[in-house]
Chain A
Amino acid sequence: DAGITQSPRHKVTETGTPVTLRCHQTENHRYMYWYRQDPGHGLRLIHYSYGVKDTDKGEVSDGYSVSRSKTEDFLLTLESATSSQTSVYFCAISLASASYEQYFGPGTRLTVT
């Protein structure tokens, strides 16, 4: 998994509660991404980061926020979880944007009841 860990790996939470997912990398890659994976939709980009404190929105960013205070950590927060955010969340890293090669973490399965 290219030195990427995600925590927690599984989480069940209730509607309306805040949730934070963590992505940690050990290889000092500049670019980090958060995706969600749902049946029939492939992988959709939520947010990405191109450096410490530099983040931007992706295709499906509504209801999500991110923070990156250190190169190695990229946090995804659901401010008030909804059932539509039940999904598998993947973090990915890339050495440089120009290369486009992205490497994925093991994923976090989130269930919002």
Chain B
Amino acid sequence: GENVEQHPSTLSVQEGDSAVIKCTYSDSASNYFPWYKQELGKGPQLIIDIRSNVGEKKDQRIAVTLNKTAKHFSLHITETQPEDSAVYFCAAPYDSWGKLQFGAGTQVVVTP
């Protein structure tokens, strides 16, 4: 099975600074790595994902990088804003039926 570890568990940044969250995975066959954002009282929302055939993907202020050799992938948020405050989860598939193994989450707090 897959084991996903996520760090840090909490991250406090000043508005305008960058935030980086890192996840490691164990199954070298994994080929899809999503990131979810969860605001208080809501369900997780898919914000970006990357497949194993690319090393980086960007969408405005967020980006994800993948290092298959080291088996880790990271979420980068640039020019953070108060609305980026949320819990972020990474995940990796642990079988071919689409089941995902989630990291424990990172609480990001952006202070003005």
On A, residues with C-beta under 8 Å from B are 1, 4, 31, 33, 40-45, 48, 50, 56, 58, 90, 94, 96-107
Contact = CB atoms under 8 A, between A and B. Distances in A.
Contacts, number: 59
Contacts of B42: 106-107
Contacts of A98: 96, 98
B49 interface: yes
Nearest to B44: A104
Interface of B: 6, 32, 34, 36, 42-46, 49, 89, 91, 93, 96-100, 102-105
Given A100-B34, A105-B43, A107-B43, A42 B104 contact: yes
30 contacts: A1-B43, A4-B43, A40-B104, A42-B89, A42-B102, A42-B103, A43-B44, A43-B89, A43-B100, A44-B102, A48-B98, A56-B97, A90-B43, A90-B44, A96-B98, A97-B96, A97-B97, A97-B98, A98-B96, A98-B98, A100-B32, A100-B34, A100-B93, A102-B34, A104-B36, A104-B43, A104-B44, A104-B45, A106-B42, A106-B43
Contacts of A97: 96-98
Contacts of A4: 43
Given A90-B43, A104-B43, A48 B104 contact: no
Chain B binding site: helix, strand, loop or mixed by DSSP? strand
Given A1-B43, A48-B97, A101 B104 contact: no
B43 A45 contact: no
Given A90-B43, A106-B42, A107-B43, A42 B98 contact: no
B12 to A, nearest CB: 18
Nearest to B31: A100
